Structure 1
Amino acid sequence: MTSSEAGTAPLPDPLPESVTAFAGDYGFPLDDFQLRAACAVDAGRGVLVCAPTGSGKTVVGEFAVHLALERGGACFYTTPIKALSNQKFHDLVARYGEDHVGLLTGDVSINGDAPIVVMTTEVLRNMVYAGSDRLDNLTHVVMDEVHFLADPSRGPVWEEVILNLDPSVVLVSLSATVSNAEEFGGWLTTVRGATDLIITTHRPVPLDQFMMVDKQILPLNDPTHPEEANRAVIAAAARAEETGRRTGPKRTDVVHRMGAAGMLPAIYFIFSRAGCDGAVRQLLVDRVRLTTDADRDEILRTVDEGVQDIPTDDLGVLGFRQWRRALGNGYAAHHAGMLPAFRHIVEDLFTRGLLKVCFATETLALGINMPARSVVLEKLVKYNGEAHVELTPGQYTQLTGRAGRRGIDTQGNAVVLWSRGIEPHSVAHLAGTRTYPLDSTFRPGYNMAVNLIATKGYTDAQRILDRSFAQYQTATHVVEQATQLTRRRRDLAGLEKDLAAELRSQHTEHTATDVIEYAGLRRDLALAERKAKRDSGNQREKEISNLLSSLSVGDIIALPTGNNPDIAVVVRSDSDHRHPRPWIVVEDGWCGPVAPESFGNVPVPLGHMKLHKNAGRSPKRNARAVASNLRRQRVERPKKLKMKAGGGSSREAAVLRDKVHMHPVHSLRNREDLVRPAERVVAARRTLDRELEAVTPDSETLSATFDHILDLLVELDYVEYSGSVTAADREGLQVTAEGHRLSRIHHESDLLVAQCLRRGIWDDLDPAELAAAVSTVVFENRREATGRHTTEVPTEALAAAVTAVGRIHGELVSDEGRHGLPLTREPQTGFVTALHQWTAGAPLDYCLQAAEAAGAQLTPGDFVRWCNRVIDLLEQIKHTGYADSVKATARKAVPAIRRGVVELGATS
């Protein structure tokens, strides 16, 4: 493996003819890193190209396409998501013509025998395991966005492909900038042969970092005056803190200010679908328009042409008129909840420069070609499905990489909106940390196991697992961990030696064990008191939330502000018990919403007063009149209402405090001189214990999991031992007829699907019932359903099938638990009725209502996506079902689902 930062090593002189000819087709000179990578591919070596978003690394992939055509071979161009595959397909068709380019994405098959085929990585994995004859002439594979192999759900597919492709295939891997590129490149060289590592951190369009405080856009880390820039941002943030502002300006203000600063067009990242849609509504309400009349006419013409195949009734359900009006004004949302056809129109208009602002979730950052002059980050935290967490440097880099259009902008702009709690220094740190580690998520599964046994045999399958990037990283980490643990033990021995010396100098009769025990008790007491204080604060916040959510309009409260507490009246109540934000008016006329975190103690109810009916409708406009009326109320004002600190005591803390006071070391006059070195020993021991617990399991982990999977598959007759061979020799394992069916089921719940087909529980269903039953193993609600919802399904046969799926799942997870394997995800019924009705011909509006009644939170875009996921599995059932009836029904169900907005969603 060779490594190259652009410009550090001379390029071949002259360049190879193929590289020269390829470079001449571009309207701009290629960068050194692009030429260097192309020369390596021309010489038959693989490459790993790590470069920032927007730097043009896909040019290297396009050279592999050019070279394969020139030399009479074939090139597969793989991407992680269908949207990227569709986009790359259109790019390559424009360059090489539709006769030379194909597209395979599971649900779309266009010209699959072409010499250039764009596909999702899953499609290539399936071709490799099937031994497709399309691989015979394959000379090059491009893996675009290869850092996607760190994705927990789909990343393992990438490693399967890398490990199983024929060694003669030249692999072109394109990645974002990762901090362990040398490690990943080293692994590629080990498993694929010579691989050049090409790294560049250069952005074609420089990126400037800003923070917006109120309506000021202030530079971060100005290279000419960095200290002054940071001080200005910190000072502005401090002023905003002092004036009590809870957040930065509203979205309309941000758009206007960026427009005035010449920073549009912009992608405005909001990590919430509802937030993106709400931003568009806010701009509409505020009558914001960012387009000329000519631009508006062109936008509306494009929109009307793009939706002409969508039924009029469906357009009404989709909120088309408001969406069209926003587009005409120059702004739109972009997120996975949108109809794919709508999302495609937004991407097209933004790329053409007709839209000036796109409010987007982070899914837009996954390689879709939508560069902008600026990127706005509303927050630096996002919900990861379980909790709100801070953005990593890698995520920040990926998002801001959209800023700066090559050949259009001289610089890109990344603007972070200030809000309370955001430190300018932390933003500067994110901006300065441009890389993130690439960690393998590879793990064996049921489908992988039967495919490996069928095509490689047990021994070679184990060797493949041993060659995985996961195993490569594990082996490296074991060495690093052992070195770290040795250093920890050496440091601990030194601290224990220091403590012994201190004990000798103090001439005390107490041993090191006594003092360490005492120091440990003190540490436990401190932790217990800290926990008690935190629990007390949580309890107080709960009490405040309960009070605020119980307030009614007209209730008078005393605010916990110390001596002479302020009096306020509620003008707008809030019944949200989790996040109440009632509006109040204070005696001095201040008006606004208050949240539990606004108070350090519980406000005190004092009474009630009558309010004019307009007070709650326009609270700020009527605040002065309400405040005047409030001051005339006769309520008994508390003399003092202090902000109380949280408590710090608990039963556990009380017990530990007694133990500390009763310990013999506690009575020593010089105890602090002894405790200080002892506390360092206690801390070092705890650190060592923590790191010992976190030690990566030994290198047998993947192999052991693989063996456990095979043991279960033997029990279930998907794999068997040939002849008299026993479990002591797994080399004799072979795949049964049932196992060969399982090998063609590519799904997260593959074994559950195989068991359902094998048990025949779907055999006698009609197309609508089959589609609905299959949805239970496909659909996954984005959030846990709340409130009342129906569990009834339309037919008795469907109800029986859904129950049977649940029963088979229960048996499977019991077996998995017995073998120490990860448990298959539980089936979900939230999409059953909606999909049954859609497949039976019901309109979109009716089906969305059915999903909502069942507790599923679906946008039209979600509906289309889940329909297509069910179609993917039905396409597999057409070939893997046991009964002719279920295969025939699956064939009928697919076109019944693929109609209207679903059909458009598959092709847009």
Structure 2
Amino acid sequence: MSSLADNFFAAKERAKKQKTVFGSFQNTLDFPLDDFQVRACESVESGRAVLVAAPTGAGKTIVGEFAIYLALSQGKKAFYTTPIKALSNQKYHDLVQIYGEEAVGLLTGDTSINSEADVVVMTTEVLRNMIYAESSTLVNLGYVVMDEVHYLADRARGAVWEEIIIHLPEHISLISLSATISNAEEFGAWLDTVRGTTDIIVSEHRPVPLWQHVMVGNRLVDLFLDDTTVEETAELLDKNKDEVPDVNPELLRLRGYRGRGPRQNAEKFSRAAHRNSRSRNRHSSGFNRSGSEQHLRPFRASRPDMIEALDQDALLPAICFIFSRAGCDAAVSQCIDADVRLTTDQEAALIRAYVAEATAALDIKDLNVLGFYEWREGLTRGIAAHHAGLLPVFKEIVEALFAEGLIKVVFATETLALGINMPARSVVLEKLTKFNGETHVDITPGEYTQLTGRAGRRGIDVEGHAVVLWKPGLEPQQVAGLASKRTYPLNSSFRPTYNMSANLLAQFGEGPAQKILESSFAQFQADKSVVGIAQRVRKNERALEGYEKSMHCHLGDFKEYAQLRKQLNEAEKKSEKGRKRLEHSQAMASIHDLLPGDVIEIPRGRNRGFAVILTRAEAGHDPRPAILTDDAHLRRLSADDLEGPIVPVSKIKVPKKFQGKTPKERRDMASRLREALYENRPPRKVSERSWFDRKDSHQEQEVTKLRKQLKAHPCHGCSDRENHARWAERWWKLERDTHGLRLQISRRTNTISQIFKRIIRLLESFNYVERDSGGEAHLTQRGQSLRRVYGEKDLLLSLALEEKFLKNLDPDATAAVVSALVFEAKREEMGMLRKYPHSSIEQPIVTLVTLWSKLTEREERFNLPETSAPDLGMVWPTYKWARGDSLAQAIQNTDLAAGDFVRWIKQVIDVLDQISHVAQNDIELKAQCERAIMLLRRGVVATQI
């Protein structure tokens, strides 16, 4: 027993803590804090920076909220940064509830509310821009909370986090909140070097235990053999790296469903049956599963069946992750068609009332194109989709209704896992692969952790449930591996941009800027990885010496001969690729020119032969006009059927009402087609030569030249040539790999500052930078505008402004032209605009493309990544929207979803706003951009909850 003295001193210590700011903060909470939260808050109060890494839902944000409380108690400002606007909006509303509207502001690029408040929530880019602009808003800033700081690994936007961490004034305390990462010590060590003393606080504990299951048919089966949560599995692996958790033998028996599983152990079956019988009484949620003594029916549950099974086991609300927007929308439709209804009449009425109020500002003409009525029908049934293609206001409504418990099932893409606070009792994964933009890949343990981390609501659920749907070929060990590895490394994606380099040069000068860049986390990680790579290079170089001896030729330098063969092979491939691109481009263009009644000859494919055009090609990326073949079949014409441009060989009359529904109609039309061919078949027209042809011709000349050089080389006549060539091929392959390793070393050794030097040289070539008599680099007056331009095409926009590319344009044309600087299509496209919305738009677009060509030539010369080309896919939609067309009219004949359209228009608004700030001395351009913004910011673009 403790002595009276011990109790006395403990009481005094508690009283002392209650008098601290942290003690006062704790008194405002109606729940006790976990140990990691207490330690982190105490570090913040002591004036140290902190890195808090903990699982989703563990309560990391409490530390950020304490930093705000502490700042206000000290009379200082606090900024709370998030990676996405939705999360900023959510946090803003949370803080308004605590401190009131007057004390809290919001800045998200397109939204500005009370920006000079003592507490401001903002997206990370806004803070970065403030720092570079030396904004007065930074005065009296005491604390910055960087929520979801692991975003610095994001390829597109990750550099912003590092820029802030490096440039934020030293006296400002930084609170970094991260998902669980396996290299927290490494990241913390870097923070310690750039920010001063940083406490690293890591928690592996999930406040709500997570159980792992596989749904086989309509039945849930535990993934692991024993009653093992994912936390217990992770602890087991930490203690013994060779230990593999026992996977439920029921699942192993179903693996591949072809009887390929190992012979089952009777003892394990007995343990599984005993475990399952106990599980009926284990879950306070009412979760109830059949034991393994009953035969599993190995089929994949439909989405309605999956929902019914979860509902019966009291495992709703649930988030079902489907890595496809179309798949999410289709899932909702399937549930409506199956008459799934998860709400009461009272809940449905509440949902209708909320939706009516939240969407009152939408134009009634836009509702059909938005899919409003089916979307609302799903909501009233307690079912919704959530993905980037949805209108922002629709996503916000789904989030709000889900948080209120009115939506029971959300079918979502992985974007939902990126910080938005929408926890559920269960998370379902339909599959363990996703499309990464190029190919289908397995999801990583980190992604699995992030997705399933949504399961289990703190303070509501006693446990969370992660469910993977069974399908033939599912490997239970793969699921177990994903579930066991709960951490993932944080790797920097930092690289200097043109805008960043201009700001660094202007603020610090060339030498200090290089030192700043060398202090980045990217360089910190790179320096640690060089040693192992150097060892591999030395090993490869010894092997290369052996290969070189084996390919020695007595007639001459075989390495030189092999180089010629390699160059010829590459030139031939390039020529063939150019020819195919030309054919496809010309085919696409010629299809658009075909009219109903045109008779054509299709050279290949299943449509090969003669056909008549029945309908004009629709605008878009895949024109497929309807045709009738000479054997009376209705088909669609594709560019893949053609070998270059196609021109009509004859023409017949096609009645406007012709539909070809009956065999007789089709036969009669085919007969007229054959008659026209017999009577009149003019010679095929020759299309004009384009720049593609000239390029192709140059490639053919290069191939011819290399073939002559190859035949003239002494080694070409060697009797052992092909044997030497095989060794040469091995030599080149290993040399290519070794060269890549050498490049890695050179890139990782002062790599960041080397990129910066190349950027400065490129900016010099455009007269954005000049050197004084002492050789020091400085921004020119021309280069100053680059400091205030942000985005993927920052330098291209700056160059275009120097050329006054928007001069004398109407506001709607201005918006259309600017869209080419922000839009990026999902897939590579070759077409240019066949027709401009207005003649005034053509010259600015030509200017942009010409400048882009010039810029990419310089980037190639200075060994820098190429700026992506202006994309004209949003020119027409932006122009239509700016001139007042409806949403349906704006996105007609495009592949744009309503949510994507709104997102791109908001980015156009953001760039127009940047231009208006750059053009302070150009009153006409400033007014032009402001007017364009007003035209765009209407209807669905302006609608917010």
Q: Within the alignment, does 1:372 sit opposite 2:421 as a pair?
A: no
- Provide the secondary structure at the position in 1 that maps to 2:33: coil
Which of 228, 246, 249 aligns to 1:231? It is: 249
Residues in 2 aligned to 1:260 and 1:484: alpha-carbon distance in whole angstroms: 57
Which of 326, 329, 332 aligns to 1:280? It is: 332
Q: Within the alignment, does 1:697 sit opposite 2:747 as a pair?
A: yes
Which of 797, 804, 810 aligns to 1:766? It is: 810
Residues in 2 aligned to 1:758 and 1:201: alpha-carbon distance in whole angstroms: 53
1:734 Cα offset (Å): 1.5
Deviation track 1:783-810 (CA, whole Å, cap 9, x = no partner) reads: 3459x99631211101222122111111
Deviation track 1:717-770 (CA, whole Å, cap 9, x = no partner) reads: 212123x23xxx3xx221122221110001110010011111011111000000
Q: Within the alignment, does 1:859 sit opposite 2:892 as a pair?
A: no
- Provide the secondary structure at the position in 1 that maps to 2:343: coil
2:321 and 2:413 in contact (8 A); partners too: yes
Residues in 2 aligned to 1:748 and 1:698: alpha-carbon distance in whole angstroms: 23
Matches within 5 A, 1:390-789: 390-482=442-534, 695=745, 697-722=747-772, 724-725=773-774, 729=775, 732-784=776-828
Residues in 2 aligned to 1:453 and 1:686: alpha-carbon distance in whole angstroms: 36
Residues in 2 aligned to 1:767 and 1:175: alpha-carbon distance in whole angstroms: 43
Name the amino acid aligned to 1:114: A
Structure 2 match to 1:587: none
Measured at CA, do residues 483 and 95 of structure 1 come closer, stay the same or move farther in structure 2, by a change above 3 Å?
Answer: farther
Residues in 2 aligned to 1:276 and 1:698: alpha-carbon distance in whole angstroms: 42
Mean Cα deviation higher: 839-848 or 874-883: 874-883
Residues in 2 aligned to 1:48 and 1:100: alpha-carbon distance in whole angstroms: 26
Q: Within the alignment, does 1:892 sit opposite 2:931 as a pair?
A: yes
Q: Within the alignment, does 1:794 sit opposite 2:826 as a pair?
A: no
Q: Within the alignment, does 1:381 sit opposite 2:433 as a pair?
A: yes
Deviation track 1:237-267 (CA, whole Å, cap 9, x = no partner) reads: 4447899x99722211111111122211100
Measured at CA, do residues 240 and 68 of structure 1 come closer, stay the same or move farther in structure 2, by a change above 3 Å?
Answer: farther
Measured at CA, do residues 220 and 155 of structure 1 come closer, stay the same or move farther in structure 2, by a change above 3 Å?
Answer: same
Q: Within the alignment, does 1:15 sit opposite 2:33 as a pair?
A: no
1:549 and 1:577 in contact (8 A); partners too: no
Which of 138, 146, 150 aligns to 2:149? It is: 146
1:51 and 1:199 in contact (8 A); partners too: yes
Which of 890, 899, 902 aligns to 1:847? It is: 890
Which of 102, 107, 113 aligns to 2:105? It is: 102
Deviation track 1:446-470 (CA, whole Å, cap 9, x = no partner) reads: 1111101111111110110110111
Q: Within the alignment, does 1:198 sit opposite 2:241 as a pair?
A: no
Name the amino acid aligned to 1:880: V
1:190 Cα offset (Å): 0.3
Measured at CA, do residues 115 and 240 of structure 1 come closer, stay the same or move farther in structure 2, by a change above 3 Å?
Answer: farther
Q: Which runs of 5+ in 1 are unaligned?
A: 1-9, 500-510, 516-545, 551-572, 580-612, 614-658, 664-682
Measured at CA, do residues 241 and 328 of structure 1 come closer, stay the same or move farther in structure 2, by a change above 3 Å?
Answer: farther
Name the amino acid aligned to 1:170: S
Residues in 2 aligned to 1:699 and 1:514: alpha-carbon distance in whole angstroms: 34
Residues in 2 aligned to 1:576 and 1:380: alpha-carbon distance in whole angstroms: 36
- Provide the secondary structure at the position in 2 that maps to 1:47: strand
1:15 and 1:39 in contact (8 A); partners too: no
1:763 and 1:883 in contact (8 A); partners too: no
Residues in 2 aligned to 1:901 and 1:433: alpha-carbon distance in whole angstroms: 42
Deviation track 1:112-160 (CA, whole Å, cap 9, x = no partner) reads: 1111111111111111111112222011100000000111111111111
Deviation track 1:683-729 (CA, whole Å, cap 9, x = no partner) reads: 9999989866755634232122111111111121212123x23xxx3
Residues in 1 aligned to 2:245 and 2:507: alpha-carbon distance in whole angstroms: 62
Deviation track 1:350-396 (CA, whole Å, cap 9, x = no partner) reads: 11111110000000001000000000011111111122111011111
- Provide the secondary structure at the position in 2 that maps to 1:831: helix
Residues in 2 aligned to 1:47 and 1:227: alpha-carbon distance in whole angstroms: 34
- Provide the secondary structure at the position in 2 that maps to 1:122: helix
Residues in 1 aligned to 2:940 and 2:734: alpha-carbon distance in whole angstroms: 61
Measured at CA, do residues 575 and 376 of structure 1 come closer, stay the same or move farther in structure 2, by a change above 3 Å?
Answer: farther
- Provide the secondary structure at the position in 1 that maps to 2:788: coil
Q: Within the alignment, does 1:341 sit opposite 2:393 as a pair?
A: yes
Residues in 1 aligned to 2:418 and 2:386: alpha-carbon distance in whole angstroms: 13
Mean Cα deviation higher: 308-317 or 281-290: 308-317
2:836 and 2:842 in contact (8 A); partners too: yes
Measured at CA, do residues 186 and 246 of structure 1 come closer, stay the same or move farther in structure 2, by a change above 3 Å?
Answer: same
1:83 Cα offset (Å): 0.9
**TM-score normalised by the chain length of structure 2:** 0.72
1:481 Cα offset (Å): 3.7
Q: Within the alignment, does 1:41 sit opposite 2:44 as a pair?
A: yes
- Provide the secondary structure at the position in 2 that maps to 1:440: coil
Name the amino acid aligned to 2:50: V
**TM-score normalised by the chain length of structure 1:** 0.75
Structure 2 match to 1:570: none
1:314 Cα offset (Å): 1.1
1:317 Cα offset (Å): 1.9
Q: Within the alignment, does 1:54 sit opposite 2:57 as a pair?
A: yes
Measured at CA, do residues 373 and 458 of structure 1 come closer, stay the same or move farther in structure 2, by a change above 3 Å?
Answer: same
1:765 and 1:886 in contact (8 A); partners too: no
Structure 2 match to 1:821: 864
Deviation track 1:528-586 (CA, whole Å, cap 9, x = no partner) reads: xxxxxxxxxxxxxxxxxx99999xxxxxxxxxxxxxxxxxxxxxx9999999xxxxxxx
2:878 and 2:890 in contact (8 A); partners too: yes
Structure 1 match to 2:652: none
Which of 870, 877, 880 aligns to 1:834? It is: 877
Q: Within the alignment, does 1:361 sit opposite 2:364 as a pair?
A: no
Deviation track 1:643-692 (CA, whole Å, cap 9, x = no partner) reads: xxxxxxxxxxxxxxxx99x99xxxxxxxxxxxxxxxxxxx9999989866
Name the amino acid aligned to 1:368: I
- Provide the secondary structure at the position in 1 that maps to 2:474: coil
Measured at CA, do residues 469 and 78 of structure 1 come closer, stay the same or move farther in structure 2, by a change above 3 Å?
Answer: same
Residues in 1 aligned to 2:746 and 2:861: alpha-carbon distance in whole angstroms: 23
Residues in 2 aligned to 1:489 and 1:294: alpha-carbon distance in whole angstroms: 72
Residues in 2 aligned to 1:277 and 1:252: alpha-carbon distance in whole angstroms: 14
Give the CA RMSD over aligned residues.
Answer: 3.6
1:229 Cα offset (Å): 5.1
Deviation track 1:149-178 (CA, whole Å, cap 9, x = no partner) reads: 111111111111111111111100000111
Measured at CA, do residues 407 and 574 of structure 1 come closer, stay the same or move farther in structure 2, by a change above 3 Å?
Answer: farther
Residues in 1 aligned to 2:436 and 2:376: alpha-carbon distance in whole angstroms: 31
2:225 and 2:249 in contact (8 A); partners too: no
- Provide the secondary structure at the position in 1 that maps to 2:747: coil
Structure 2 match to 1:325: 377
Q: Aligned residues: percent identity?
A: 48
Residues in 2 aligned to 1:780 and 1:887: alpha-carbon distance in whole angstroms: 26
Name the amino acid aligned to 1:154: R
Residues in 1 aligned to 2:206 and 2:481: alpha-carbon distance in whole angstroms: 18
Name the amino acid aligned to 1:118: V
1:280 Cα offset (Å): 0.3
- Provide the secondary structure at the position in 2 that maps to 1:783: coil
Name the amino acid aligned to 1:15: K
Residues in 1 aligned to 2:377 and 2:525: alpha-carbon distance in whole angstroms: 52
Which of 157, 162, 166 aligns to 2:165? It is: 162
Name the amino acid aligned to 1:85: S
Matches within 5 A, 1:104-183: 104-183=107-186
Residues in 2 aligned to 1:547 and 1:887: alpha-carbon distance in whole angstroms: 54
- Provide the secondary structure at the position in 2 that maps to 1:217: strand
1:884 Cα offset (Å): 2.9
